[in-house]
Structure 1
Amino acid sequence: MKNRFLAALTALATTATLFSACSKDDNNNSGTTKLSVYLTDAPSPYDAVNVDIQDVMVNSTSDSTNGWQSLHILRPGVYNLLNFRNGIDTLLAATDIPAGKISQIRLLLGANNSVVIGGTSYPLQTPSAQQSGLKLNINATLVAGIDYRLWIDFDANKSVVATGNGKFNLKPVIRSYTQATSGSIKGIILPPLTTSGVFVIQNTDTVGTAIPDATGAFLVAGLNAGAYNVAVAGNGVLKDTTLLNVNVTIGQVTNIGSVTLH
């Protein structure tokens, strides 16, 4: 086993701090989770509905004024909602955030919003959105070590309101939904500080690695559903050990418990 993992151990040595930071205790609401936010749309009769999205933010508190965290949108600017119909979406932002509950998400809009009808472009008035952003209630609980996707589903047809004299307002009708896209494996290696690395293996490929923290705890996140072998490399005195067929389920953290090296 030592020869098999030599290259991986070398890489781990340069990133030990990173993997130690990923180790978790039994509280799945500690640590971080990856949240990706996508934009999609329902059908509408317009030629284009252009929305100027400048940022995406989440709030994990009950304070609708404070507590907001930017997800740092990948491409601020104008998005034609009609490009994302019939199951098509686009990634707005993806980042690690503290695990736990998120109560709201907010889109911050710029001024370049418009609707195109019969080849003619009309500005969309969005005064309230420009001041405080479009707030959506989410009320989701994100588990540490699990990757999540959140979709913002605009209904472009219902969101554009004609006010007369060729003027239009943007009054967004939006729904949102989340989906867990990965699972994790966690455990505790005993005695602490006696392993040089934990390796999650599927078939012959090492798909995840970790160095346990000072208590022996580790977590390997971002795993697809399936069965894995978890190999623990000893320290040269204590022997290596391998747990076979550890099952991972999407949206869950598989706890292998305590593993004692001898």
Structure 2
Amino acid sequence: MKNQVIAAFAALATIAAIFTACSKDENSSSASARFSVYLTDAPAAYDAVWVDIQDVQVNTSADASTTTGWQSIHLLRPGVYNLLKFRNGMDTVIASQEIAAGTIKQIRLVLGNNNSVVIGGISYPLETPSAQQSGLKLNVNAQLTAGVEYKLWLDFDANRSIVTTGSGKYILKPVIRSYTQAIGGSLQGIVLPPLSSKGVFVIQNTDTVAAAIPDPVTGAFLVAGLNAGAYNVAIAGNGILKDTTLLGVNVTVGQVSNIGSITLH
């Protein structure tokens, strides 16, 4: 069990984003759809991870390799975001706009140069590889229907997105899991006593698909964006209290599955 939980810190699987309708937008026109992008984060062992977001773009071209067809989505606040503020079910909308209905092939996140990581109270710059300076591309292949709102979450895995070089530098290579409200279900619970768990890991077969850190005061946690199905929920102890695993927890699309309170001993 411990080996599986330790491995989970280094291997969070990517879930492909599939779009579907979730609610009608009465103010949208007959030829457009509301498209919103949210930012959230997986657990990471840093004081802060600041990411400089300057633009969010979508591509409607039939040729995914083309450099044309990109359209910027209205960014609510360009600038730096501390990823660690958006853990355990917290998120923030970064871009939202009415766009023409049709197919979106890709989404691109354009980062600025003001990226940094704080470790032990000391801030270090995060270098961005030249190959990613034009923007981080994610394939989505989504069909947007007129008059319907679509919400996409970008779940940064800050722990895997930061690479340390041999010379002591830090490089930002974003690893992102994306999901939508319509196709995903959620799982929530409470780990007692608070501060007794290092993390909660949602496992399907042998893959850890998502993780959360319980709130230090209440012990509550939430894992969102899960496909429908049965999962094992591994709760890592703090070294004093033992690990525990719940088997066969069912998740349903559009619903929050509550596993209640789990007390570690």
Same fold (TM > 0.5): yes
1:50 pairs with 2:57: no
SS in 2 for 1:147: strand
Q: In structure 1, what is the equivalent of residue 168 of structure 2?
A: 166
Q: In structure 2, what is the equivalent of residue 97 of structure 1?
A: 99
Q: In structure 2, what is the equivalent of residue 112 of structure 1?
A: 114
1:68 aligns with one of 48, 66, 70: 70
Q: In structure 1, what is the equivalent of residue 29 of structure 2?
A: 22
Asked whether the equivalents of residues 64 and 105 of structure 2 are also in contact (C-alpha less than 8 Å), the reply is no
Change in 2 beyond 3 A, CA 1:180/1:146:
farther
Change in 2 beyond 3 A, CA 1:164/1:21:
closer
SS in 2 for 1:132: coil
Q: In structure 1, what is the equivalent of residue 34 of structure 2?
A: 34
Deviation at 1:20, TM superposition (A): 11
Structural RMSD (CA): 2.2
Q: Which consecutive residues of structure 2, in runs of 5 or more, have no partner in the other structure?
A: 1-25, 184-253, 255-265
Structure label with greater radius of gyration: 1
Q: In structure 1, what is the equivalent of residue 134 of structure 2?
A: 132
Distance 1:57 1:103 in 2: 11
Asked whether the equivalents of residues 106 and 135 of structure 1 are also in contact (C-alpha less than 8 Å), the reply is yes
Deviation at 1:137, TM superposition (A): 0.8
Distance 1:40 1:129 in 2: 24
Change in 2 beyond 3 A, CA 1:40/1:99:
same
Deviation at 1:178, TM superposition (A): 2.3
Q: Which amino acid aligns with 2:55?
A: D
Deviation at 1:129, TM superposition (A): 6.0
Q: Which amino acid aligns with 1:159?
A: S
1:82 aligns with one of 84, 91, 94: 84
Deviation at 1:166, TM superposition (A): 2.2
Change in 2 beyond 3 A, CA 1:97/1:151:
same
Distance 2:103 2:150 in 1: 13
Change in 2 beyond 3 A, CA 1:128/1:72:
farther
Deviation at 1:134, TM superposition (A): 0.7
Q: What is the TM-score when the length of structure 2 is the normalising length?
A: 0.56
Deviation track 1:58-78 (CA, whole Å, cap 9, x = no partner) reads 111124411100002110000
Change in 2 beyond 3 A, CA 1:108/1:20:
closer
Asked whether the equivalents of residues 55 and 76 of structure 1 are also in contact (C-alpha less than 8 Å), the reply is yes
Distance 1:58 1:159 in 2: 22
Deviation at 1:100, TM superposition (A): 1.5
Distance 1:74 1:171 in 2: 24
Q: Which consecutive residues of structure 1, in runs of 5 or more, have no partner in the other structure?
A: 1-18, 24-30, 182-249, 251-262
SS in 2 for 1:164: coil
Distance 1:108 1:90 in 2: 17
1:151 pairs with 2:153: yes
Distance 2:151 2:133 in 1: 27
Deviation track 1:170-213 (CA, whole Å, cap 9, x = no partner) reads 011112122359xxxxxxxxxxxxxxxxxxxxxxxxxxxxxxxx
Deviation at 1:131, TM superposition (A): 2.6
Displaced runs of 4 or more, over 4 A: none
Distance 1:72 1:20 in 2: 17
Deviation track 1:30-69 (CA, whole Å, cap 9, x = no partner) reads x110001000000000111110000100111124411100
Change in 2 beyond 3 A, CA 1:129/1:50:
farther
Deviation at 1:22, TM superposition (A): 2.9
Distance 1:52 1:151 in 2: 17
Give the percent of matched residue pairs that are identical in Structure 1 and Structure 2: 69
